[in-house]
Amino acid sequence: MTQRITTNTILIFLFGLLILGLAACGSDSTSVVSQTDDATNDTQSVVAVEESHDDEDGHADGLVDEHEEADTHIAAVEDEHDDDEHAVAVDDGHEEAATGSHAHADMTGPIDPDAVVTHISAAEFAYDTTAFEVEAGESFSVQISNTGVLEHDITIEGFESEFGLHVMPGQDNIATYEMHETGEFVYYCTVPGHREAGMTGTLVVAAAHDEADGHHDDEAAGA
């Protein structure tokens, strides 16, 4: 009887050890699984951090590119603005010249088909006709052709507000005019610097034939 109890006790003790061993193994397995999960989570976290860092780098590169494009655009706008200012300055200079030393009448009136026509070619920096004569009170026409590469014009000193013709390279212009004062008058190009360079000529206005004939008759009667 005593031997049977001892045997049962041993079996129960061994069975308990077995259970404890299994429990310990289960705990270790759970711990290993947990550690594995933690390692996996750590790896995923590292990957996420690296991806986030890459995204930040890419975003930073994008901002740099956008900044460079903005700088380039601003520089282009400034260049266009400088060009506009230069164009305005050129236009202003031309307007100032046109209202100052470059001022003359721009004749657009009718042409008298019966008037004597004087042909003048303008180039850098002279007229091919340096003198011509008209009669006082008689209509005469001046036709100017620009055979040069710069703009030119022609006007008569003292009559700038009444007579003037302007021509661009390759163009020609014509106008009819009358002079009522006798004498010699200078015609010239009003483009700044052109007169000083030699673009001048002499217009001789002679007395009308009727006046000259009457003057000669008076002299003959007095004699």
Task: Give pLDDT tens digits for 88-97.
Answer: 343 444 444 4
pLDDT at 128 over 80: yes
pLDDT in tens, 22-67: 666 555 545 444 554 554 555 565 445 455 555 655 555 655 566 5
DSSP the chain: -HHHHHHHHHHHHHHHHHHHHHHHHHHHHHHHHHHHHHHHHHHHHHHHHHHHHHHHHHHHHHHHHHHHHHHHHHHHHHHHHHHHHHHHHHHHHHHHHHHTTT----------TTSEEEEEEEETTEES--EEEEETT-EEEEEEEE-SSS-EEEEETT-TTT-EEEE-TT-EEEEEEE--S-EEEEEE--STTHHHHT-EEEEEEEPPHHHHHHHHHHHHHH-
Question: pTM of the prediction?
Answer: 0.51
Percent of the chain with pLDDT over 70: 49
Query: Looking at the predicted structure, is the pLDDT value of residue 193 above 90?
Result: yes
| Domains defined along the chain, listed by start | 116-213 (2.60.40.420)
Average pLDDT of the segment spanning 105-127: 88
Residue 23 structure tokens: 């429990």
Q: Rounded mean pLDDT of 150-166?
A: 94
What pLDDT does residue 18 have?
73
Asked if residue 206 has pLDDT above 90, the reply is yes
- pLDDT at position 77 over 80: no
- What does pLDDT average to over the chain? 74
- Lowest average pLDDT, out of 95-99, 110-114, 152-156, 159-163, goes to 95-99
Predicted local distance difference test score (pLDDT) of residue 17:
72
